[in-house]
Amino acid sequence: MPKSLSKFRVLLVEDHLMLREMLRLVLDQERNIQVIAECSHGAEAISACREHAPDLVILDLMLPDMPGLDVLRAVRSDVPNCRALIVSGQATPELVADSLRIGAHGFVEKGASIETLQTAIRTILGGASFFSPAIQSILKRTAAAPPPSVYNLTDRELEILRLVASGLLNKEIADRLGVSIKTVDNHRTNLMRKLNVHDAVGVTLYAIKAGLVSPS
């Protein structure tokens, strides 16, 4: 996580007290994170987002007063720079797909390990997207993407696509490939234009559907 001088501000939205306390314990272990508020209801969460403008909201989809997807939609509209991680006991293909369409940056089912949750939080705060192995499997089963050859991706674009989908940032990709950040950015822009996707989430979703990244 690149933020070092100030802490990432996180809003936690979960209506089950025990799970919320467990999530809080996980977050408290991260020295770069400050939990600015905890909410158990959707309307409360929307108000808290507007008031605090957090860097990340960790959101359950099943809330007592309104669907979590409506909360996600409001958050992405009102605080567009806020990133969103879904942590939900419900992970149907429809919910996963709708979450991504609305703008979630990651999805982890509640049966996942603490280590998976920690990785998700760090990855998303680092600027990339993250989907647990179970969610990747759902995405691969529900839709198929055309092979990269259909879009005339070059070998280097395909390589960068895989690395973006693996959660690496442009600087990390540049270091790994021994090229400049500008070169990576140019290839990334070209491949996104060819695939007609607009962010790292779209790149990752395509890569999962096309079988270019492993769910394991």
* Domain match, 137 and 149 both: no
Query: Does residue 101 sit in the same domain as residue 162?
Result: no
Q: What is the distance between the alpha carbons of residues 196 and 174, in angstroms, rounded to a whole number?
A: 23
Mean pLDDT on 7-25: 95
What average pLDDT does range 147-161 have in this prediction?
84
Whether 33 and 137 share a structural domain: yes
Residue 116 lies in a domain: yes
In a shared domain, residues 99 and 29:
yes
Q: Which of 91, 110, 141 is the last residue of a domain?
A: 141
User: Three-state SS for 11?
Assistant: strand
At 197 the pLDDT is 83
Which two three-digit tokens encode residue 141? Answer: 């089963």
pLDDT for position 214: 57
Give me the domain span that covers residue 50: 8-141
216 in a structural domain: no
Same-domain pairing of 23 and 104: yes
Same domain, 137 and 148: no
Same domain, 55 and 157: no
Residue 22 neighbours by CB under 8 Å, 6+ apart? none
Mean pLDDT of 176-202: 89
99 and 192 inside one domain: no
Tell whether 2 is covered by a domain.
no
Q: Is the pLDDT of residue 114 over 80?
A: yes
pLDDT average, residue stretch 57-82: 95
Q: What percent of the chain has pLDDT over 70?
A: 92
In terms of DSSP bridges, do strands 130-131 and 33-39 run parallel, antiparallel, or are they unpaired?
Answer: unpaired
Candidate ranges 5-9, 178-182, 200-204; pick with highest mean pLDDT? 178-182
Same structural domain for residues 137 and 150? Answer: no
Residue 142 has pLDDT above 80, yes or no: no
Residue 198: what pLDDT? 79
Q: Are residues 180 and 161 in the same domain?
A: yes
pLDDT-above-90 percentage for the chain: 57
Tell me: pLDDT of 13 over 90. yes
Look up residue 177 and give its amino acid.
L
Q: What is the mean pLDDT of residues 144-171?
A: 81
Of residues 147 and 204, more confidently modeled: 204
- Distance CA(207)–CA(66), nearest Å, equals 32
Point out the least confidently predicted range of 119-123, 133-137, 180-184: 133-137
Q: What angle do CA 126, 6, 168 make, to 5 degrees?
A: 10
Q: Are residues 28 and 56 in the same domain?
A: yes
Together in a domain, 124 and 169: no
The CATH number linked to 155 is 1.10.10.10
pLDDT confidence of residue 216:
42
- Quick check: is 215 in a domain? no
Domain-embedded: residue 3? no
